[in-house]
A and B are shown apart, each in its own frame.
Chain A
């Protein structure tokens, strides 16, 4: 069974600074995807960034980037130039890659990020 662990329940960062959220996971699978989702106070689940396990290059989306360490089963999210709108709960999630079927997302417990003005 797969598990996802986020060890930082809450974090705080000054506006315009950089913050890193940690995530580790456990799996025996070789093909899978990793995601970071953002859940603002509206409770909408918003995809921030994704990483395919077979790709060695770390994914980047504007101010968001990941540090994917497959051997260590680590998947951290770095937010650069933090903005007030980044204040939200952030969930790390794992999805197994299967053929012609569907697979569920397994979420970590989340990290609540507060960006201070």
Chain B
């Protein structure tokens, strides 16, 4: 079965650089979530999209932005990177109907900021 695809899987950036993380949801999934998991921490919700519209926002820095495109894939853009942005970034997808409650997680993108 198709799973959530995230690219790249690993990314190394310097401070103050920009990074773009991509997420391709499971076919027919119209909802995408982004989570950030720092070292030794639980995943923290950043932002979500439902039918290409932002549906919820968490502790996402103003330096970050995201969008969902017409094919439902999503991109997380991170600018002016800081050392503290080093983390594992998960994308998850689900169908928007409340009848479908499971979020399917991608393998994550490991971002290292030097």
Question: Which of A12-20, A21-29, A63-71, A101-109 lies on the face that meets chain B?
Answer: A101-109
Find out whether the CB atom of A109 lies under 8 angstroms from the CB atom of B42. yes
Find out whether the CB atom of B102 lies under 8 angstroms from the CB atom of A50. yes
**Contact of B74 with A by CB under 8 A:** no
Find out whether the CB atom of A95 lies under 8 angstroms from the CB atom of B43. no
Closest chain A residue to B33 by CB distance? Answer: A104
- Shortest C-beta distance, A87 to chain B (Å), equals 17
Q: Say which residue of A43, A98, A102, A107 sits within 8 Å of B33 (CB atoms).
A: A102
Give the A interface residue count (CB, 8 A): 24
Give the B interface residue count (CB, 8 A): 29
Closest chain A residue to B32 by CB distance? Answer: A102
- Shortest C-beta distance, A97 to chain B (Å), equals 5
Known: A105-B103, A109-B42, A110-B42. 16 other contacts (CB 8 A): A43-B37, A43-B107, A43-B110, A44-B108, A46-B105, A52-B101, A91-B43, A95-B103, A97-B98, A101-B50, A102-B55, A102-B56, A102-B94, A104-B45, A105-B92, A109-B41
Nearest 10 interchain pairs by C-beta = A45-B105, A104-B45, A107-B42, A102-B31, A102-B50, A102-B55, A33-B101, A102-B48, A109-B42, A107-B43
Residues of B in contact with A (beta carbons under 8 Å apart): 31, 33, 35, 37, 41-45, 48-50, 55-56, 58, 88, 90, 92, 94, 96-98, 101-103, 105, 107-108, 110
